[in-house]
Amino acid sequence: MSTVGIIGAGLIGRSWAVVFSRGGWDVRLTDTDPKALAEAPRLLRQSLGDCARHDLVDDPRACLRRISTVPTLEEAVAEVDFVQECGPETVSEKARIFKALDVAAPAAAILASSSSAIVSSRYAEKLAGRARCLVAHPVNPPHLVPLVELCPAPWTSKETVAAARCIYEQLGQVPITVLQEAEGFILNRLQGAMLAEAFRLVGEGYCSAEDLDKTVREGLGLRWSFMGPLETIELNAPGGIADYCARYGPFYKRVASEPPSPNVFSKRATDKIAHAWGPVLEPEVQAAKMRWRDDRLAALAAHKKRAKAFRK
Ligand SMILES: NC(=O)c1ccc[n+]([C@@H]2O[C@H](COP(=O)([O-])OP(=O)(O)OC[C@H]3O[C@@H](n4cnc5c(N)ncnc54)[C@H](O)[C@@H]3O)[C@@H](O)[C@H]2O)c1
């Protein structure tokens, strides 16, 4: 039986707890906020129950029994095979947590950070066990969205990356490897490029915030739920990607010659977008909407499990 220590019982830590327990692992979950830790079992029961309704987990009670909450990082990682760090997204916190992990976790345990954008070379270089550190960036929530981006630092061992890949695959996740460290890895760089253009289009009055979202929700996003942008353009011209680029490349080239300015993310510009979108949701409404999203994602995950990939 393998054991994972999960550091941070927030959105991502709890979701990883579902992934690992569903895969048969014992889970030790910790958080510096006793309230977050106390709330975790109820929220985990809810997520596992929701998964079971969509046939995404066989025995939610057995999964729950495999998860224990513990008060300190040291107890969480004392005898584990793997650590999934899910603490705050700042370099100083990642540095503090990884320093403690490198001392407290068994020498053979892999130390993976869930960071959304921070490469591990910014905090792991001086650690004795730096060869076992890497980023394993999930998509929220990882128990319903399988992609995980593995991003090694230059000194991360090949064995660490290979073992991490194997573990995530066995858990039913879909790992990709980031071949050179890049802030934001692959997914958030793509998301950032799209958000910059979206903020420009709404901010400069080309369309409403609502219509911008419809464009993805009822357009681009439908294909993207089962094929990537390269496979998409392959099928949008009879001669494949080269033909597509010959037809539409000049237009994309003109657009690319005037990229959105960094000012689209200024406070003034983002306040304008937030205002156009509407009032901040009440906490209960926000929580209900997150559950609705997870329910839709679970239905999509169940559908994708049944659907066959195209094979030539
Ligand atoms: N939310 C997302 O969409 C998303 C997606 C992918 C990756 N991530 C990354 O996952 C990580 C966690 O994000 P989140 O959304 O779960 O945040 P969150 O705020 O929901 O949870 C973070 C938790 O860490 C706890 N914490 C703070 N310091 C700690 C410490 N020293 N030791 C143990 N616990 C500590 C906090 O009390 C909190 O409960 C971040 O690095 C984030 O960038 C987030």
Ligand 1 within 6 A of CB of 293: no
Task: Give phi and psi for 276, each to the nearest 5.
Answer: -65, -30
Residues 217, 196: Cα–Cα separation, whole Å: 17
For strands 3-7 and 26-30, give the pairing.
parallel
Ligand 1 within 6 A of CB of 87: yes
Per-residue pLDDT tens over the stretch 14-63: 999 999 999 999 999 999 999 999 999 999 999 999 999 999 999 999 99
pLDDT of residue 115: 97
Ligand 1 within 6 A of CB of 10: yes
Whose CA is closest to atom 4 on ligand 1?
140
Q: Closest Cα partner for 86 from 74, 75, 73?
A: 73
Taking the CA of residue 117 as reference, the ligand 1 atom at the shortest distance is 43
Taking the CA of residue 11 as reference, the ligand 1 atom at the shortest distance is 16
Per-residue pLDDT tens over the stretch 212-241: 999 999 999 999 999 999 999 999 999 999
Q: Which two tokens stand for residue 92?
A: 């100083």
Ligand 1 within 6 A of CB of 29: no
Question: pTM for the whole thing?
Answer: 0.94
Taking the CA of residue 30 as reference, the ligand 1 atom at the shortest distance is 33
Point out which residues pair with 3 in neighbouring strands. 26
Ligand 1 within 6 A of CB of 11: yes
Ligand 1 within 6 A of CB of 7: yes
309 pLDDT band (50/70/90 cuts)? confident
